[in-house]
Amino acid sequence: MEFFEKEEPISPFIRVSANSLKRFACEVFKALGVREEDASVAADVMVTADLMGISSHGVQRLGRYVGGIESGAINVNPEMRFVVDSYAVGVLDADNGLGQVAAYKAMMKAVEKARQFGIGIVLVRRSHHFGIAGYYALKAVENSMIGVTMTNTTPLVAYIGSVEKYLGTNAIAFAAPRKQPPPLLFDGALSVAPIGRLELYSKTGREIPAGWVIGIDGEVMRGDAKKIYDAFTKGLAALLPLGGHTEELGGHKGSGLALVIDVFCGVLSGASWGYHVKYTTVKNANVGHTLIAIDIAKFMKLEEFYERLEQMVSEIKALRKAPWTKNIWIPGERSWLTMQTRLRIGIPLHLSIVEELKSIAKRVGVKFDAETL
């Protein structure tokens, strides 16, 4: 296998083994009072993001969760309970615990329901940021099911026709098993660009293209990322929804779909929605999620589904390419290849992230002992 990384590591960086990084993150959570099994889930979600080349959601976010715990916003000893548990539907009250733990529990419940009723849908209220949506959809896949995950987030995106942050970068993930890995995995927010990319561009001095951000004056911003990110953090700009700021290219579709996600995750779940959803370090952040599992075997033989999906995949791979296209990628392929690569050669960590992890380690009284590869 050739080495493949979806996301080019930014220098200077070191590479550490995934297992040791996971162990470290787990120790940090445990030192803060998180139960071992919960710590293990939260660490796994983060390191899986790093393995997949989604470093915005990797251990660089550990500080955010640590901050949430230290501020008391994240409850390390939550009593999560199903306030609704009826046939194919459920609602989990996460009691302000870690979003990763809540979403994992909710998806396992959805899988159990799907095994009996063919489909299970479990909503989560009073939760926190849960990392990558795709992680939980893949838990359904491990059970030979289709998984769908949705979440709302703190307000970052302008609704069509407006110029201020209201919607979250509400995300939807869909995963389906294939005969051989990788599974099909679509995982995307309904904003054009993720907020992490804006932040990264501002740190690395790159130019922001037109179409990502709208200023409060209604002008689409482009160019100097530092300036734009500053405006963004001051509430003078917002991310644009998929399709952009007008209907001509479909901005009403992107913002409409983001709103639909919020009706499930925020309104129907009993969580917060729109600009009421709070950041990880704020009490009662009340983030909401939706976890759906669908049992393929109830519809057709699994083998038949695999064959049909494989045919679709091979048709897409064989389509006539655009001149600039080397490879037509199926959703999930690149993150899977990146994972295989990083399992072998390690996860690249920028030295500034290493310093941050060391400082967290010191603060909570554990050792940063990730194994350098």
Minimum CB distance to its own copies smaller for 13 or for 275: 275
Nearest distance in Å: CB 113, its own copies: 9
By beta-carbon proximity to its own copies, the closer residue of 253 and 363 is 253
Instruction: Using CB under 8 A, count the residues that bind its own copies.
Output: 83
User: Binders of its own copies among 6-25, rule CB under 8 A?
Assistant: none
Tell me: does residue 270 bind its own copies (CB under 8 A): yes
For residue 37, the minimal CB distance to its own copies (Å) is 28
Question: Which residue's CB is nearer to its own copies, number 9 or number 118?
Answer: 118
Which residues within the stretch 75-104 sit at the binding site for its own copies (CB under 8 A)?
Answer: 84, 86-89, 91
Burial (0-12, 13-18, 19+ Cβ within 10 Å), 362: exposed
Which residues partner with 290 through β-bridges?
123, 150
Position 196 contacts its own copies (CB under 8 A): no
User: Which of 281, 283, 261 minimizes the C-alpha distance to 273?
Assistant: 261
Taking each helix axis from N to C terminus, what angle separates 36-51 and 333-345, rounded to the nearest 10 degrees?
A: 110
Q: Cα separation of 225 and 136, whole Å?
A: 32
Contact pattern from residue 105 through residue 134 relative to its own copies, giving x for each residue in contact according to CB under 8 A and a dash for the rest: -----------xxxx-x-x-----------
Choose one: 31-39, 294-302, 335-343, 353-361; the region binding its own copies (CB under 8 A).
Answer: 294-302
Q: Tell me the C-alpha distance between 359 and 108, whole Å.
A: 35
Other C-beta atoms within 10 Å of 345: how many?
13
Beta carbon of residue 234, minimum distance to its own copies (angstroms, whole number): 14
Of 181, 263, 284, 344, which lies in the binding site for its own copies, with binding defined by CB under 8 A?
263
- Rounded distance, CA 172 to CA 160, Å? 19
Task: Name the residue nearer to its own copies (CB basis): 73 or 158.
Answer: 158
Is 94 within 8 Å of 265 (Cβ atoms)?
Answer: no
Q: How far apart are alpha carbons 290 and 274 in whole angstroms? A: 16
Q: 300: which DSSP letter? A: S
343 binding its own copies? (CB under 8 A): no
| Of residues 147-186, those binding its own copies (CB under 8 A) | 158-164, 166, 172, 174, 176, 184, 186
